[in-house]
Structure 1
Amino acid sequence: MDAGDYRMIVRWVMRLLGDEHVAQSPRLLDACHTLMDHAWSRLHPKAESPNETHAKTREES
């Protein structure tokens, strides 16, 4: 898989996250977030995870 494949998967997952049926299923929602974290790690191996970046931003404000 290359970066284009991961971008396509992330777009698909983002559409899933916007689906009201997915939002009602915590288990499926968690699986989508996990998949996005893995995709982020593969696309940006030296970057912090988006969750860590978000936590730091919240701490600074």
Structure 2
Amino acid sequence: KAYIAFAGKRVIEQTLGQKVIEDFQVTENLFDHGLFDLIVPRNLLKGVLSELFRLYGLVHRNK
């Protein structure tokens, strides 16, 4: 599990004045709710980024 957060759970709960779900800052939960397009294991990251940049270049070259 990887966590994405700018503040801890306690700080967010105090700020909002309400409880938040236990895994609200876990990447899989954020992905399930549409906040990420892709979660990539570190060993595959270079290849995935290379492919995305290649595809991005093809799209913009054809415009």
Same fold (TM over 0.5): no
Q: Who wins on radius of gyration, i.e. which is larger?
A: 2
Larger fraction in helix:
1
Normalised by the length of structure 1, the TM-score is 0.33
